[in-house]
Homo-oligomer: A and B are copies of this chain.
Amino acid sequence: MAYRFAYRASSEAALLRRVAAIEKSGFKVIGWADGDLGHGRAFRFEDPFGHLFEIYWETNRYRAPEEERPKLKNLAQRYHGQGASPCHLDHLNLLAADVAEFRRFMETCLGSRVTEMIQLDNGRLGGCWFTVNNKTYNLACTEEHGGGHGRFHHVTYATDTREDILRAADIFLENGVHIETGPHKYAIQGTFFLYVWEPAGNRVELANSGARLILAPDWEPVVWTETERKKGQAWGLKTIETFHTHGTPPVPQKGH
């Protein structure tokens, strides 16, 4: 397993409560690992589809070196205005053979809430969007159709404006980065998006949610039917075929 996803607990006590919940959940537990770059000890566990998670509390807050100190002291570092200039990590999207089971994992182990989901006509969940704070989602899961295991669909960075994403599209174009789809606006969650593949093949999204937040503690998940999803994205863009098939790592082809 070459990659893992780390959540930060809201306190040491919250971390220990989570660990207790995970240990009794029946999902696969790896156990405590020493700290790593940027954080202290972390508790590792795994979803039924081969993705490695960890949770930690102790963190090493980034301190910019002298030459990277921003002019405004409420920023972590200088703004350079180069490239897409995203503001922070927005969310991950993972592939799973059974989204309903993945949902049980997220609710049980991480206390995540579902904000939106796709209910397929065959009774299965096609996708599920989860949050642990006021963001509309921190992690999404979509159904694996390529026969892979433990696969990653994409990682997303948040930009301050939609214009940052339009600008980034020109930068990707000029630098020969494969633009898979977008810019456009999602029907689900209403996010303005752009997808590219970095040179190693991982899908990266830039996203802007405007001022949208989920502030209601009793938010009811928005459930989209298969019929509704067939209408395409908010302004009509159809989902591109590779979006259903491309994940990383690639699935070995038979006979190879």
Chain A residues in the interface with B (C-beta under 8 A): 8, 10-11, 59, 61, 70-75, 78-83, 85-88, 90, 116, 133-135, 158-164, 166-174, 176, 179-185, 187-190, 192, 194, 208-213, 215-217, 222, 224, 228, 234-236
Contacts and interface: CB of A to CB of B under 8 A. Distances in A.
* Copies of the chain in the assembly: 4
A81 B82 contact: yes
A181 B192 CA distance: 16
In this complex, which of A61, A172, A182, A215 has the most chain B Cβ atoms within 10 angstroms of its Cβ? A215
Contacts of A74: 116, 187-190, 222
Given A70-B174, A190-B74, A213 B135 contact: yes
A168 to B, nearest CB: 8
Given A11-B217, A85-B167, A134-B135, 7 more contacts: A10-B217, A71-B176, A79-B171, A80-B171, A81-B168, A82-B82, A179-B235
A160 B162 CA distance: 9
B80 A211 contact: no
A109 B228 CA distance: 45
A172 B182 CA distance: 19
A171 B211 contact: no
| The 4 nearest A-B residue pairs measured at CB | A160-B210, A163-B163, A87-B211, A134-B134
Contacts of A236: 179-181
Given A87-B212, A179-B235, A190-B72, A174 B135 contact: no
A119 B101 CA distance: 51
